[in-house]
Structures are given as C-alpha cells and as structure tokens.
Structure 1
Amino acid sequence: MMIRANLMDLYNEQAILDHFDTQSLLKNLMESKEVNAQVKKVKRGQELISEGESTDYVYYMTSGIASIKKGTNTFGFIGAGQFVGFDTLFLNESSTYTIRTRETCEVYVFDRLEVMEYLFSLQEGWIFFYLVEKEESQRLLKYQHFMRLKGVARLDAMLQDLADTFGTEEDVIVLPKCFSKQCVADYTNFSLNTLASLIKELRREGFLAPAIKDSFFCLSK
C-alpha cells in the first residue's frame, strides 16, 4: 500500500498504465545496447520455469500459451504479451511455481542479470517491477475468486475468462485446442466425471456449443 501511495504522489493511474506497461518494458529492453535478446521456439510440454528452482533467464511470450502451476494446482495461463520470470529477478530465489508450455511457444529470452542491471539504471525502473508484481497478484486473486464459486457457476466463469483472453471468434468463440478436458479439469479443480456433467448442463443451457475441429470448448456468442 505504501508503494502504491508513493506512486500516486508522482503519477496518476492512467499515466502509469500508459508509460510503464509490458509493451513499454519490452520496447526498452529491445532497444537497449546493454541487453541481448534471443528468439527461441519452445515445444509443447517444456518447462520455462520450474518450481523450487532458480533461473538465469527472463522470458517474454510472443506466441503460444503456457500454464502456471503450483504443486498439483494449475491456477492460470500466460499468453503472448506477457513476461515470465520476474518474481525471482532480484535475488534469483527459487521459483514458487512452474511455467509449462501448453503448445509450441515463441519467446524472447533475456539474461536475468542484464535485465536487472538495466532496470536499476533507470530512475523509474522499479515501477515496472511493481506493475508486473501487481499483475501476478491480480491473477492469483482472480483464481481464488473462481474457487469460491460452485459447480456450473465456476465452470461458466472460468471458461468465459479463458475465452476473453485466448478465444478466437468464428460462428462461436473457440478456445485453442490446448485447452483439453484434462487441462480444464485441472484448472477448474473438478474431476473429469464432474466436468463432463457440468459440460452437459452448460450445453443444455446454450452457453457451450458443440465441439468443432480440434477444439473441444466452444462458447456461444
């Protein structure tokens, strides 16, 4: 709260969002002569960050989808336009979660120390840390909110959220095929049998449309 209050003394909320978002950070890193970026394609099922281990890299997702998992619980997904690895940037501590690709992803790979030194060289570099940390906190709070919902209400809300973030619009809103029944069961914390029953109910209500192509989850508009 103190950090937020200090920020508000210097900038209004819109100014922070306009000038210190992830796109601005990426642009600054790519233009810096002190920071080197490599483009890498990562196959499905690979870990970018492993729970309990430190990493020497920071990643920026340019395409693809990766899951965020702590222990056995999947509590979110990361897609294009998001950074991975900022939580351990300062002290290179062990990560508290695992980031695993759900499909082939393309990422920019940055050296952790180069990113840290660059941000420390900026008078307002710490604001980027604040905003990335805020984004991660909001993701966790959203998941906790979902877990307080029951049955159909939970599945409805979580599928709608995935559709808003990752869905593509055709005659219906189609979730990428990496969101399999097992993936969604893990994320919603339902067994496969319970998930199957809830899917039938949402289809009866018209919220879910029949599966098409390789995508199982299709939401009616």
Structure 2
Amino acid sequence: MSTLFTELYNRETVEGKFNAKKLLDLLKNDLVYKVNFKKKEVPENTELYSENILSDHIHFLEKGVVAYEYEDQIISFSSGDDIVGMNDIFLPKASNYTVRTITKTIIYTFSKQSVLESLLNMQEGWLFLYLNNQNYNILIAEKYMLMRQIGKVRLKNILTDIAQKYGYRDENGIKIPGYFTRKDIANYANLSMNSMSQICKILENEKFCVIKSKQFILLK
C-alpha cells in the first residue's frame, strides 16, 4: 500500500499519468458521460479568449502555438498538448488575459461544466486539476524571475527557452520559427523595438545568434 501511494504521488508519475494529453484522451473516449466537444482549425491571429470577457469553454491544443497577453503584454506562449482556460474552472469569471493564436492552430473545445463534471466523477480527477494549477504557478514564478533580469540576459534566456521548446536544428544552429516575430519577442521580453535591435546587435557580435530573413538562429 505504501509503495502504491508513493508511486501515485511521485511528481514524475503524476506528470506522466495525469497530463493534458491524457485528460483529452479520457474526455474524448468517455463512454459513460459522453462529453461533447468540437474539433476545429483556427487561423493565426485569432483570439480564443479575450481579456475581461467571460468564456464557458476550455480548449485543448492539439497543434499550433498561442500567446497569452495581459494588457497588451505577452506573458507566455503555449503549444500542442496544453490546456487553455482551466485555471478558473471552479469559479467562472471573466478571463484575466487574452489568448491569441500566432500560428494556424487545431483545438478541441469542451464546455467547462462538462469537463468539471467529468473530473469530479473520476477517482483521481483532482490530480489533473492539481497539476494544471502547479504548472500555472510555476509559469508565473518563472515570468517574475525573468523580468528581474537585465535586458540582455533576459533576451538571451527567452531566445534559448523558445529555441528549446519550438526550434529546430540545421547545419547553422537552432532556428526559431519565423512566427515568433521580433515584435512579439520584444513584447514578451518587455523591451522596446529600439532596445531589442541594440541588444540583438550585441548578441550577434558575441556569436550567440544571427538573424537571417527576420529569423533567429542560435549558434550556441
């Protein structure tokens, strides 16, 4: 019994068994509660949520990238196998942020009520809610620490993080996809376009990256 308890609540086990993809699979294939959903392709630059507007839907991202924005400031990016809109599932309220697609995105849309009812009827449904909340808290903490860094360090860390999560390697280095525009990256880093340009020149001189056809390529 002790071994089972330890295995169940080990963080790696929880993340492996109770992640967003597993929850989506459970909801799609639930033969008992027949949870209704819609799968659709959303064009880029489409708002899935709008700041200060109530929404009663949850979106599971199958493919594509979205940006979270608060008062026109990008606070995070999210991509395939992530959930959008589950943080306030218990207390429906107007969204604190805008969620905008920056690529063509494929989503599964459920009502919050149906997802909540399914989670409450799952023996371990609370673990999905717990892990989602933990990930959200980590995201906020990371953003806070990021904003305390000086501009050059902040931009280097942001480019490195984006490259690790979304980039692809070729003979020149790790390329950041072009849909991460200089404007969006500057916004996320809380830099003016002028400051962004100056720091980019420094990073190029230091051989940290090059910029070709408006696309970042990390060399280290």
Superposition TM-score, scaled by structure 1 size = 0.90
Whether the aligned pair in 2 keeps the contact of 1:87 and 1:95 (CA below 8 Å) is: no
Letter in 1 for 2:29: E
| Unaligned ranges ≥5, structure 1 | 1-6
SS of 1:86's partner is coil
| Unaligned ranges ≥5, structure 2 | none
Whether the aligned pair in 2 keeps the contact of 1:54 and 1:88 (CA below 8 Å) is: no
Alignment partner, residue 29 of structure 2: 31
Q: 1:155-211: CA deviations, max 9, x gaps?
A: 101110111111111222111212111111100000000000000110111111231
Q: Indicate the larger mover: 19-28 or 9-18.
A: 9-18
Letter in 2 for 1:38: K
Whether the aligned pair in 1 keeps the contact of 2:7 and 2:13 (CA below 8 Å) is: no
Alignment partner, residue 112 of structure 1: 112
Q: 1:79-122: CA deviations, max 9, x gaps?
A: 11101010122222111111111121111111221111111111
Whether the aligned pair in 2 keeps the contact of 1:152 and 1:198 (CA below 8 Å) is: yes
Letter in 2 for 1:13: R
Number of equivalenced pairs? 213
The whole-number CA distance in structure 1 between the counterparts of 2:109 and 2:180 is 25
**Cα RMSD (Å) of the superposition?**
1.7
Alignment partner, residue 3 of structure 1: none
1:96 and 2:115 correspond: no
Deviating runs (4+, > 6 A) in structure 1?
A: 7-10
Q: Percent identity?
A: 30
The whole-number CA distance in structure 1 between the counterparts of 2:53 and 2:88 is 10
> Cα offset for 1:39?
1.2
Whether the aligned pair in 2 keeps the contact of 1:163 and 1:175 (CA below 8 Å) is: yes
1:73 and 2:99 correspond: no
Alignment partner, residue 219 of structure 1: 218
1:63 and 2:89 correspond: no
SS of 2:75's partner is strand
Alignment partner, residue 173 of structure 1: 174
Superposition TM-score, scaled by structure 2 size = 0.91
> Cα offset for 1:26?
1.5
The whole-number CA distance in structure 2 between the counterparts of 1:20 and 1:41 is 25
Letter in 1 for 2:128: F
Alignment partner, residue 182 of structure 1: 183
Alignment partner, residue 16 of structure 2: 18
Give matches, 1:153-164, under 5 Å.
Answer: 153-164=153-164
The whole-number CA distance in structure 1 between the counterparts of 2:96 and 2:112 is 17
Q: 1:18-73: CA deviations, max 9, x gaps?
A: 22122221211111132122211111111111111111211111111110111122
